[in-house]
Amino acid sequence: MNRSISWIAAVMTALLTAVLFGGPVYAQTPTPLVEHAVPGKPLNVAVEAPGRVWFTMPDANAIGFLDATDPDNVQFTQYDLPNSGSEPYDIVYDNGFVWFTEKSGNRIGRLNVSDGQIKEYSINTANSGPTGIDVAPNGRVWFVEQNANQLAELDPVAETIVELLYTPSFGQAHGELEDVAVVNNSTIWFSARERNEIVRYEVSSNQFASFSTRPPGSSILFAEPMGLTLDSTDTLWTVSFADSQVGRFAPGTVALFRWSPTPSNNAAPAQIAFYDAGQRWFFFYSEYDTGRAGWLSTLTNSAIAGTVEYPLSSPDARPWGVDVDANGCAWFAATEINQLVEWCSPYAQQTWLPIVRGVTLAR
C-alpha cells in the first residue's frame, strides 16, 4: 500500500470509528503545521500570493509582511503606521494594495505593495471602531463599525465614505459587528456577534435582512457568529465563537443555518477561510481557546465529510485570523506566541492519526 492510500485508509478508519462510537479520536506527535516567528503579535492575515502573507500587528501599530516563498530564507518586513495608537485590526489584499481597518485610529488604511507607502482615510463618525473589511469587484471597500453599529462603503476614487446605520427591527440596537464578506458589487454580508445574527445588505434596494443563528427550539444557542467566508457557490459560512460550531447559511431550512461541531467543544473558533480542492472543499478555522488549527471538510454538495484539528506549539497561542493561498496553504495568526502558522497539503501526517470527528448536522 502506498503512502497516499495508507493515509486515506487511516482517515476513513478514524471517521468510521467516530461516527459509530460517537466521539473524537486522539493521537499525539508530529503535525503538518509550520510556525514562522514574527517580532510582534499578529491578529488578522491576508494572503497576497503563495508564501506572501500580510497581517495586522495591533500592539506594534504596524502592518507586517512575511515572504516565505523561499522556505530556507523567510523574510519579515514591518510597516509602521503614520499615527500612533491606530490599532490595525482586519486586513484584506486586493490588486496590488493591502487594505486594513484602524480600530482605535478611526481610519481605513491602504498600503501600496509596490512601494510600501501608506494612505489613510478618516471615517466620518467619531470613535466608530472599524473591524471587518473586504473589497468588492468594482474596487469599493466595505467595512463595519463595531462601536457605531454601521456598515460603510469607501470609494477610493472619489475618496468618500458612505455610512449605513444597521437598525435591527427588534431588541437591542448594538450588534458588535465583527466581519464582512462581499459576494459581489450588490450583496454584502456581515456578522453581528452580540445579537447572534448574520446580516445581508442589498445595495440596489438599500435594505438590511437579518438572520438569527439561534434555531427555534434548539438546546444549543449557536451564539456569537464571528468570521465569515464564501464557498465556490457564494454560499455563506460562519463560526459560532461561543458554541464551537461551523455553520452554513441554509435559507430553505427552518433553522436558517446547518451547524457542525468542532472536535473540541471549547474551541471558540474566531475566523474561517475557504479552499476549493476540487472534489473536496476545506474550511479552515482558528481555535482561539484551545490553541489549535482546524478544518472541516465537505463534498462539493456541502455534505460534511469530517473535521480535523492540530495543536499549535502552545495551548495559549490564541490563534485568530486565517486565510488560504492559491496552493491550498492555510495561514493562521497565532497572537500570543508571535507566530504565523502555515498548514499545507497533505493536511495530515500519514504517520499518525489527528483528532477527527464524524459530524451530524444540527437541524
User: CA–CA separation, 162 vs 155, rounded Å?
Assistant: 8
Which residue spans within 140-195 are E strands per DSSP? 141-145, 150-155, 160-165, 177-182, 187-192
Read off φ and ψ for residue 346, nearest 5 degrees: -70, 140
Q: Which domains does the chain have, with CATH numbers?
A: 3-357 (2.130.10.10)
Query: How large is the average pLDDT for residues 71-86?
Result: 96
Of 169 and 236, the structure prediction assigns the larger pLDDT to: 236
Note the pTM of the prediction, 2 decimals.
0.88
User: CA–CA separation, 206 vs 201, rounded Å?
Assistant: 7
Query: How large is the average pLDDT for residues 303-332?
Result: 96
Residue among 360, 351, 352, 344 nearest 34 (CA):
344
Q: Are 52 and 331 in contact (CB under 8 A)?
A: no
Beta bridge pairs of residue 135: 141
Residue 175: band (very low, low, confident or very high) from pLDDT cuts 50, 70, 90: confident
Q: Which residues of 164-192 are buried (b: 16+ CB within 10 A; e: fewer)?
A: bebebeeeeeebbbbbbbbbeeebbbbbb
pLDDT at residue 349, as a whole number = 58
pLDDT at residue 173, as a whole number = 56
User: CA–CA separation, 176 vs 234, rounded Å?
Assistant: 24
- % of residues, the chain, pLDDT over 70: 86
Region of 19 (left: φ > 0; alpha: ψ -120 to 50; beta: rest) is: alpha
Quick check: 359 pLDDT over 50? no
pLDDT in tens, 177-188: 999 999 999 999
User: CA–CA separation, 91 vs 45, rounded Å?
Assistant: 6
pLDDT in tens, 8-27: 443 443 444 344 333 343 33
